[in-house]
Structure 1
């Protein structure tokens, strides 16, 4: 499911170029290619923001992370963030 929109975008762009080159139909080729460009432009809005996690989210309190890392000396900052968000 992750690769459906990028694959569809490439497929529409390739189909548009193929129709234009091999069939000689410029308008249909431009239509398919522009549909691919529109899909490419809209896809990030449909998929959500890049870099967001599906897990718990929220604000990170630096004081809580620092306190967690003092209590757990081998913990990384990422460990502290994960532990304090739960």
Structure 2
């Protein structure tokens, strides 16, 4: 997923994927746990066992963003 966030759970170091969804992240050691995040999608936890392993993940949509709430105030604008 383009421009999603990928974070190393152990160190909290993170990167953002590029327009094609590619990313490169440095981790403290293996195995490493990565967390992929994107607004409107469920977070995905990925276990990485070595540096040469290709990581492919798909995020599932999160249905909690199916409505928008707008709030406002009808009071007069005050000039000071």
- For normalisation by structure 2, the TM-score amounts to 0.24
Larger Rg: 1
- For normalisation by structure 1, the TM-score amounts to 0.23
